């Protein structure tokens, strides 16, 4: 087992970013890696566990793996088999369940048949079949019936949900955020169209256990790295001594530097888990509440995990609010806008001046990354560091 004093690399945070870069440095780079995680478990926000009722839950909200990257899929497949799963989501609109992303099937449910068919023709003619159109783009359409459709989707799918999730209207929100869930001119009801989709067959935590099972990795849980790491005059000290190895930091960029340029804005979530003595609570994996309720969505885990349990099911409701940095709160979503971009730039430029120091991950890079994007970035950073440092073994 590696001793702290012997560590050649420090990796801070044990989500997909930290877990993968630790494995890459340990395995391909042949380096001794000390991996520090402040929570009492591995996996970052992808962590899953069995709850008191025996239901496998995702502690930090529903996580569905989807990717077009063959490299990422093959890499993760070293550490897990996959349960094939294609996520389907509906939104609850005044008693009707409409597929989300809003598509041609949603159109048929929302409008009377003749009008729906006319709108379908216009959508196909204007944008093309199987095309995805962001709501803010559809709203710019000059055709009165397409404008009517855009208004309907805007009001019933995006407006209230976005206000709950971000505290802002869709116009005030980063356009890339709402473009993640476009209008889809298709009959395909799946939430994602990626080539590779699924859930780790034995769960994310089991995937991480295998990922971290390497003799060059020492993992320390319940350890806030910022209690041990000090940055002074452009030099790095760890546990009171100068540290000259590689450091990869995957926590929030502002906390790294004592929030000296002000706290970066994030959204946090409150998760409300509820268990029912029923086999199923709802008829879809996720139902989005787009016109009512204080929570954004309800997810029922058994759809995702495939766990077979009768007369027991656990759901989670997600409530979003501004992150304040209070103890016990977790930042989940970066609030990307021009002001936060220039604030983030101050943190990243300071960190980039540190020797052999790298910011990696959704929090450290202040980006709205899915798991596969983080995995890919971690693999690319591994390529770079290993090319620089040579492969020892
Ligand atoms: P994290 O998973 O946040 O890991 C960072 C780790 O660093 C944490 O464990 C944290 O405790 C630790 N840390 C922070 N500071 C310190 C410190 N000072 N010392 C030690 N440790 C520290 N992506 C998908 O692809 N599909 C989905 O379905 C999906 N659903 C999501 C649902 C929700 C509700 C959320 C919030 C995200 C979802 N994501 C999804 C995104 C996914 O969670 C992220 O892409 C992924 O977790 C990012 O990995 P990471 O390692 O960058 O960050
Ligand atoms: N969105 C919405 N209504 C929906 C689904 C999504 O308004 O029914 C918007 C909302 O602004 C949300 C964004 O699209 O934050 C991205 O949704 P996604 O499902 O990708 O969010 P995540 O799963 O990452 O929370």
Residue spans per domain, the chain: 4-84+199-263+335-389, 89-184, 265-322
Give the model's confidence band at 290: pLDDT under 50 very low, under 70 low, under 90 confident, else very high.
very high
Structure tokens at 141: 């359409």
Quickly count: other Cβ atoms within 10 Å of residue 24's Cβ: 23
93 Cα to the center of ligand 1, angstroms? 31
158 Cα to the center of ligand 1, angstroms? 25
- Direct distance between the N- and C-terminal alpha carbons of the chain, in angstroms, rounded to an integer: 18
Asked if residues 225 and 332 have their Cβ atoms less than 8 Å apart, the reply is no
Distance separating alpha carbons of residues 172 and 165, to the nearest angstrom: 12
Q: Does residue 332 line the site of ligand 1, with CB under 6 A?
A: yes
In the DSSP assignment, the letter for residue 226 is: G
Structural element, H or E, at residue 315: strand 313-322
Asked if residues 65 and 371 have their Cβ atoms less than 8 Å apart, the reply is yes
90 Cα to the center of ligand 1, angstroms? 25
Asked if residues 24 and 16 have their Cβ atoms less than 8 Å apart, the reply is no
37 Cα to the center of ligand 2, angstroms? 29
pTM greater than the 0.95 cutoff = yes
Q: Does residue 18 line the site of ligand 1, with CB under 6 A?
A: yes
Structure tokens at 84: 């094939």
291-348 tens-digit pLDDT: 999 999 999 999 999 999 999 999 999 999 999 999 999 999 999 999 999 999 999 9
Alpha-carbon separation of residue 326 from 68, 238, 263, 300, 330 (angstroms): 37, 26, 12, 29, 9
What is the predicted pLDDT for the residue at 145?
A: 97
Nearest to 42 by CA among 203, 164, 178, 173: 203
Who's near 373: CB < 8 A, 6+ residues apart?
A: none
Q: Which atom of ligand 2 is nearest to the CA of 160?
A: 7
Ligand nearest the Cα of residue 373 is 1
Give the model's confidence band at 393: pLDDT under 50 very low, under 70 low, under 90 confident, else very high.
very low
Average pLDDT, the chain: 96
Please say if the pLDDT value at position 377 is more than 80.
yes
Q: Does residue 99 line the site of ligand 1, with CB under 6 A?
A: no
Please say if the pLDDT value at position 390 is more than 60.
no
What is the mean pLDDT of the segment spanning 6-25?
97
Quickly count: other Cβ atoms within 10 Å of residue 147's Cβ: 14
User: Best mutation site among 60, 87, 161 for ligand 2, i.e. most ligand atoms within 8 A of its Cβ?
Assistant: 161
Quickly count: other Cβ atoms within 10 Å of residue 353's Cβ: 10
Who's near 76: CB < 8 A, 6+ residues apart?
A: 65, 200, 207, 375
In the DSSP assignment, the letter for residue 228 is: T
Who's near 365: CB < 8 A, 6+ residues apart?
A: 253, 348, 359, 377
Asked if residues 311 and 256 have their Cβ atoms less than 8 Å apart, the reply is no
What is the mean pLDDT of the segment spanning 217-241?
96
Please say if the pLDDT value at position 2 is more than 50.
no
Distance separating alpha carbons of residues 213 and 357, to the nearest angstrom: 24
What is the predicted pLDDT for the residue at 251?
A: 98
Q: Which atom of ligand 1 is nearest to the CA of 372?
A: 25
Q: Does residue 361 line the site of ligand 1, with CB under 6 A?
A: yes
What is the mean pLDDT of the segment spanning 154-180?
96
What is the mean pLDDT of the segment spanning 178-206?
98
Ligand nearest the Cα of residue 362 is 1
Whose structure tokens read 């430029």? 349
Q: Fold for domain 4-84+199-263+335-389?
A: Rossmann fold (3.40.50)
Asked if residues 166 and 267 have their Cβ atoms less than 8 Å apart, the reply is yes
Nearest to 185 by CA among 262, 243, 99, 253: 99
What is the predicted pLDDT for the residue at 391?
A: 52
Task: For residue 236, report the phi and psi dihedrals to the nearest 5 degrees.
Answer: -110, 130
Distance separating alpha carbons of residues 16 and 47, to the nearest angstrom: 10
What is the mean pLDDT of the segment spanning 236-245?
95
Ligand nearest the Cα of residue 304 is 1
Distance separating alpha carbons of residues 101 and 83, to the nearest angstrom: 23
3-state secondary structure of 103: strand
Give the model's confidence band at 6: pLDDT under 50 very low, under 70 low, under 90 confident, else very high.
confident
144 Cα to the center of ligand 1, angstroms? 43
What is the predicted pLDDT for the residue at 118?
A: 98
Structural element, H or E, at residue 378: helix 371-389
């Amino acid at each position: 087992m590696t001793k702290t004093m012997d560590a050649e690399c420090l990796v801070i945070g044990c989500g997909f970013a930290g877990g993968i870069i630790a494995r890459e440095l340990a395995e391909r780079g042949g380096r001794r890696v000390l991996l520090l995680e402040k929570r009492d478990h591995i996996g970052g926000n992808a962590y899953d566990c069995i709850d008191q009722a025996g239901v496998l839950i995702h502690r930090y909200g529903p996580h569905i793996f989807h990717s077009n990257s063959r490299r990422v899929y093959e890499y993760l497949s070293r550490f897990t088999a996959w349960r094939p799963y294609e996520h389907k989501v509906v939104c609850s609109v005044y008693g009707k369940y409409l597929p989300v992303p809003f598509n041609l099937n949603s159109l048929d449910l929302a409008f009377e048949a003749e009008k729906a068919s006319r709108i379908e023709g216009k959508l196909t003619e204007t944008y093309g079949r199987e095309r995805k159109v962001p709501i803010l783009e559809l709203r710019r359409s000059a055709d009165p019936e397409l404008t009517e459709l855009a208004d309907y989707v805007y009001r019933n799918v995006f407006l209230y949900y976005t206000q709950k999730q971000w505290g802002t209207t869709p116009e005030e929100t980063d356009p890339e955020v709402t473009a993640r869930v476009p209008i889809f001119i298709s009959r395909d009801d799946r939430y994602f169209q990626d080539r590779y989709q699924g859930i780790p067959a034995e769960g994310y935590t089991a995937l991480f256990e295998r990922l971290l099972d390497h003799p060059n990795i020492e993992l320390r849980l319940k350890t806030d790295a910022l209690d041990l790491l000090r940055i002074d005059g452009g030099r790095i000290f760890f546990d009171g001594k100068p540290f000259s190895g590689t450091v990869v930091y995957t926590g929030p960029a502002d906390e790294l530097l004592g929030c000296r340029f002000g706290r970066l804005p994030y959204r946090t979530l409150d998760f409300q888990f509820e268990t029912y003595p029923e086999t199923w609570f709802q008829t879809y994996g996720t139902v989005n509440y787009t016109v009512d309720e204080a929570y954004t969505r309800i997810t029922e885990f058994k759809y995702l995990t495939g766990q077979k349990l009768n007369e027991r099911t656990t759901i989670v409701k997600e409530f979003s609010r501004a992150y304040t940095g209070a103890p016990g709160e977790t930042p989940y979503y970066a609030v990307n806008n021009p002001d936060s971009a220039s604030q983030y730039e101050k943190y990243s430029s300071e960190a980039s001046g540190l020797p052999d120091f790298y910011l990696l991950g959704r929090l450290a890079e202040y980006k709205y990354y899915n798991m596969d994007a983080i995995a890919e970035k971690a693999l690319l950073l591994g390529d770079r560091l290993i090319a620089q440092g040579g492969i020892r073994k």
